[in-house]
Amino acid sequence: MTLPQDGPLLDDAAGRLIRPYTVSNGRTRPTAVLDLLSLVMATGTEPQIHLGPEHSVALGLCGGPTSVAEIAAHLRLPAVVTKVLVSDLVDCGAVTAHPPAFHDMPTDRSLLEAVLDGLRRQL
């Protein structure tokens, strides 16, 4: 993945060259209520504020409904930092975020045991 920037943010040997707290300007709490499964989608509105390269990449990932967890994985950032970045995008109107819908959550014990058995066979 190529990030728009002046220099590399990731190095194959060294890893991330910019610390996560720098990406969020030291902030550790998002202004919007977000869950890892919250679905984020771009509104098509151009942000009127300056955004960093991670904000731009996150916005680019939100063409369709994308979870906060997926965005964090693509950015290779901790979830809390990603939540701060996404909340910045929500605050400027570039994306909307909705909590996940759990109306059809499977709670059948036999289903959960079958999943657990399958995972054990994989190990």
Instruction: Assess contact for 67 and 37: CB atoms under 8 A.
Output: yes
Across 91-109, average pLDDT: 79
Residue 23 phi, psi dihedral angles, 5° rounding: -60, -35
pLDDT > 90 fraction of the chain, expressed in percent and rounded: 38
Q: pLDDT confidence of 103, banded at 50, 70, 90?
A: low
Write out pLDDT tens, residues 14-73. Answer: 455 566 666 667 677 888 999 999 999 999 998 888 888 889 999 999 999 999 999 999
Report the mean per-residue pLDDT for the chain. Answer: 80
Q: What is the Cα–Cα distance from 41 to 86, expressed in whole angstroms?
A: 10
